[in-house]
Amino acid sequence: MRLTEVPGRALAVFAHPDDHEMACGGTLAAWSAAGSEIGVVVVNAGDKGSSDPGTDPQELTTRRRAEMDAAAALLGVVVEALGLPDGEVENSVGLRAELVAAIRRWRPEVLICPDPTARFFGDSYVNHHDHRVVGEAALDACAPMAASPLYFPEAGAAHAVPTVLLAGTLEPDCWVDVAATLDVKARALACHRSQLGGDDDDLAAELVAARAEQAGAAAAKAGVPGLRHAEGFRRLRLA
């Protein structure tokens, strides 16, 4: 289906500083432009996001936080960074408590997070440990914990999230038209210079356009035509 509803409040929970831009930046930008209040929880610091063995993890963390803040300003979202080291995050009581508190604080109508069941993409990519764990923890925090007052009562009043959108899924069943915000998404992604390997904004634009076209083609194949540039999700309706 084509998802056209705009939530009044939304929360995205992702692992690394550039994950939400890549996964759903066009959707977040579109909702923000339409008046949504949007929070983003970034769990990991991004301290291992380099193939250079001489990289100082703390310097990289500082740089990536600045990149993330610049991108957030373009998307129109508020970012909360938990700063856990890359590769060390687990679906722990502590992380679930943090995410329950964020859900109760933001009280979103829609929560977006990675699909923790998406492990292999073709035969050449294994989905990152952090992506899968953060997706799993976000779902656990959402259902049933944030909705039940007996879980983490110190984290605020219970809040039931009506809709969850799983990004990076192998089973998309709804799509958002992001043609109008493709440029914003590309510029937000381009803020992450440390990950793109230079100052080539065209690279970000090409990458964003290619992925959006792939999602649009997937939508058409599923019987949802007319989306040249899209972002796809698996939708869970919890309330």
Mean pLDDT by groups of 10 residues along the chain of 239 residues? 97 97 97 98 96 92 96 98 97 98 98 96 91 98 97 98 97 98 96 80 88 97 96 95
Exposure on the CB side of residue 13, measured as CA atoms within 13 A: 32
29, 61, 126 from 231: Cα distances, Å: 12, 28, 21
Dihedrals phi, psi of 8, to nearest 5 degrees: -70, -35
- Output the pLDDT for position 226: 95
Element (H, E) at 209: helix 201-221
The partner residues of 14 in beta bridges, in order of sequence, read 42
Using only the alpha carbons of the chain, give its radius of gyration.
17
Look at the block and give the residue holding tokens 């309706």.
237
- Output the pLDDT for position 3: 95
User: How many C-beta neighbours within 10 Å does residue 52 have?
Assistant: 7
How far apart are the C-alpha atoms of 126 and 207, rounded to whole Å? 19
Q: Which of 71, 76, 73, 84 is nearest to 45 (CA)?
A: 84
- Domains identified in the chain and CATH numbers: 9-237 (3.40.50.10320)
Tokens (6 digits) for 89: 């995050």
Crossing angle of the two packed helices 57-75 and 182-190, in degrees rounded to 10: 160
User: How many C-beta neighbours within 10 Å does residue 18 have?
Assistant: 24
- Output the pLDDT for position 15: 98
Contact present, 46 and 59 (Cβ < 8 Å) = no
- Output the pLDDT for position 203: 83
- Output the pLDDT for position 195: 85
Please report, to the nearest 10 degrees, the dihedral formed by the alpha carbons of residues 9, 188, 207, 118 taken in order.
-40
- Output the pLDDT for position 2: 97
